[in-house]
Chain A
Amino acid sequence: MIVSSTNTAKPATGIPALLKTAFVNALIALVLFSLMVGIRTEAGSDGQLTYWTRFGEVASLVAAVFGGSIVIGLLRQWIGPNGTDKLVPPAVRSGMSFLGRYLAPVLLIFTVLVPVIFYDQRYILDLAILVLTYVMLGWGLNVVVGLAGLLDLGYVAFYAVGAYSYALLATNFGWSFWVCLPLAGILAAFWGVLLGFPVLRLRGDYLAIVTLAFGEIIRLVIINWQSLTGGPNGVSSIPRPSFFGIPLDNSDNGLAARLGIEYSPTHRIVFLFYLILALALLTNWVTIRLRRLPIGRAWEALREDEVACRALGINTTTTKLTAFATGAMFGGFAGAFFATRQGFISPESFTFQESALVLAIVVLGGMGSQLGVALAALAMIGGFELFRGLETYRMLVFGMAMVLIMIWRPRGLIGHRAPTVYLTKAQAISSDLVKEGHG
Chain B
Amino acid sequence: MDYFAQQLINGLVLGSIYGLIAIGYTMVYGIVGMINFAHGDVFMIGGFIALITFLILVSLGLTAIPVILLVVLLVSMAITALYGWTIERIAYRPLRHSFRLAPMLSAIGMSFVLTNYSQVAQGARVKPIPPFITGGYTLHESTDGFVIQLSNIQIMVVVTTIVLLALFTWLVSRTRLGRDMRACEQDQTMAALLGVNVDRTISMTFVIGAALAAVAGLMYLLYYGLVDFFMGFVAGIKAFTAAVLGGIGSLPGAMLGGLAIGLIETFWSAYFSVEYKDVAAFSILIVVLIFMPTGLLGRPEVEKV
Residues of B with C-beta under 8 A to A4 = 89
Please state if B240 and A209 are interface contacts (CB–CB under 8 Å): yes
Please state if A396 and B117 are interface contacts (CB–CB under 8 Å): yes
Known contacts A32-B82, A395-B112; A39 and B55 CB within 8 A of each other: yes
Residues of A with C-beta under 8 A to B53 = 35
Q: For residue A40, give the distance in angstroms from its CB to the closest CB of chain B.
A: 7
A114 contacts the other chain (CB 8 A):
no
A204 contacts the other chain (CB 8 A):
yes
Contact with B108, one of A210, A356, A407 (Cβ below 8 angstroms): A356
A394 CA / B20 CA spacing, docked (Å): 32
Q: List 21 A-B contacts (CB under 8 A).
A: A1-B90, A36-B121, A41-B52, A42-B127, A43-B125, A202-B289, A204-B100, A204-B101, A204-B104, A209-B35, A210-B289, A213-B237, A220-B282, A224-B273, A352-B233, A363-B101, A393-B120, A399-B109, A402-B106, A406-B109, A407-B94
Please state if B293 and A400 are interface contacts (CB–CB under 8 Å): no
**Total A-B pairs, Cβ < 8 A:** 194
Please state if B95 and A407 are interface contacts (CB–CB under 8 Å): yes
Please state if A356 and B117 are interface contacts (CB–CB under 8 Å): no
Residues of A with C-beta under 8 A to B303 = 307
Please state if A49 and B105 are interface contacts (CB–CB under 8 Å): no
Identify which of residues 73-121 in chain B touch chain A, using a CB-to-CB cut-off of 8 Å. Answer: 75, 79, 82-83, 86, 89-91, 94-95, 98-106, 108-121
A4 CA / B75 CA spacing, docked (Å): 23
Q: For residue A200, which residue of chain B has the nearest CB?
A: B290
Of A5, A201, A352, A400, most B-chain CB atoms within 10 Å: A400
Q: For residue A42, which residue of chain B has the nearest CB?
A: B123
A191 contacts the other chain (CB 8 A):
no
Total interface residues in chain A, CB < 8 Å: 66
Identify which of residues 220-237 in chain A touch chain B, using a CB-to-CB cut-off of 8 Å. Answer: 220-221, 223-224
Binds A, one of B43-51, B144-152, B158-166, B254-262: B43-51
A25 CA / B68 CA spacing, docked (Å): 30
Residues of A with C-beta under 8 A to B67 = none
Please state if A407 and B106 are interface contacts (CB–CB under 8 Å): yes
Identify which of residues 22-48 in chain A touch chain B, using a CB-to-CB cut-off of 8 Å. Answer: 28, 31-32, 34-37, 39-43, 47-48
Contact with B along A352-365 (1 / 0, CB 8 A): 11001001100100
B63 contacts the other chain (CB 8 A):
no
Q: For residue B257, give the distance in angstroms from its CB to the closest CB of chain A.
A: 13
Residues of B with C-beta under 8 A to A201 = 289-290, 293
4 cross-chain pairs, A with B, having the tightest CB-CB distances, nearest first: A402-B109, A399-B112, A399-B113, A213-B282
Total interface residues in chain B, CB < 8 Å: 75
A35 CA / B122 CA spacing, docked (Å): 10
Please state if B35 and A205 are interface contacts (CB–CB under 8 Å): yes
| Interface of B toward A, CB cutoff 8 Å | 29, 34-35, 45, 48-49, 51-53, 55-56, 59, 75, 79, 82-83, 86, 89-91, 94-95, 98-106, 108-130, 199, 233, 237, 240-241, 244, 273, 275-276, 278-279, 282-283, 285-287, 289-290, 293, 303, 305
Residues of A with C-beta under 8 A to B127 = 41-43, 49
Contact with A206, one of B110, B123, B289 (Cβ below 8 angstroms): B289
A216 contacts the other chain (CB 8 A):
yes
Residues of B with C-beta under 8 A to A76 = none
Interface of chain B, helix or strand or loop or mixed? helix
Q: For residue A399, which residue of chain B has the nearest CB?
A: B112
Q: For residue B157, give the distance in angstroms from its CB to the closest CB of chain A.
A: 22
A279 contacts the other chain (CB 8 A):
no
Contact with A224, one of B82, B240, B275 (Cβ below 8 angstroms): B275
Known contacts A36-B118, A205-B34; A7 and B240 CB within 8 A of each other: no
Residues of A with C-beta under 8 A to B35 = 205, 208-209
Please state if A7 and B199 are interface contacts (CB–CB under 8 Å): yes
Q: For residue B248, which residue of chain A has the nearest CB?
A: A206
Residues of B with C-beta under 8 A to A28 = 82, 86
A363 CA / B115 CA spacing, docked (Å): 21
Q: For residue B98, which residue of chain A has the nearest CB?
A: A410
A399 CA / B56 CA spacing, docked (Å): 31
Please state if A51 and B109 are interface contacts (CB–CB under 8 Å): no
Please state if B45 and A36 are interface contacts (CB–CB under 8 Å): yes
Q: For residue A321, give the distance in angstroms from its CB to the closest CB of chain B.
A: 15
Known contacts A40-B121, A209-B244; A410 and B289 CB within 8 A of each other: no
